[in-house]
Amino acid sequence: ETQATEMKQSTQVDQRSISVGVVGGGALGSFVAASLAASHNQVVLVSDWESHAQHINNHGLSIVKPSGEIETHNTIKVISQEESYNVSSLDVVFICVKSNKT
């Protein structure tokens, strides 16, 4: 019984939420941010597209799935690239920008 309990514990997935930064608010960055938010992670999206950032902050980020279902994430915080943010509070940062922006 002890061995079965140990095996069960070792196969459980860690459900800990992480803090994630996504740099680039275009299609790829928005998709990555939405996917991470759907897994209950804390997501900060950095965008140079001010109207897009304001819209997401006010209305959430909506993704249309292949089935046609619309999934909206209201927990994503969007900041402009000019705003300062303490990146040391993030567990990981994804860079999702076009090569000419790097």
How does residue 99 score in pLDDT terms, banded at 50, 70 and 90? confident
pLDDT for position 33: 96
Q: What is the mean pLDDT of residues 69-76?
A: 94
Q: What is the pTM of this model?
A: 0.78
Structure tokens at 89: 């509070």
pLDDT for position 86: 82
pLDDT for position 3: 56
> Number of H helices and number of E strands within the chain?
3, 6
pLDDT for position 102: 65
Calculate Rg over the CA atoms of the chain.
17
**Residue range 2-57, pLDDT digits in tens:** 555 555 555 455 567 899 999 999 999 999 999 999 999 999 999 988 888 999 99
Positive/negative CA dihedral, 18, 24, 26, 28: negative
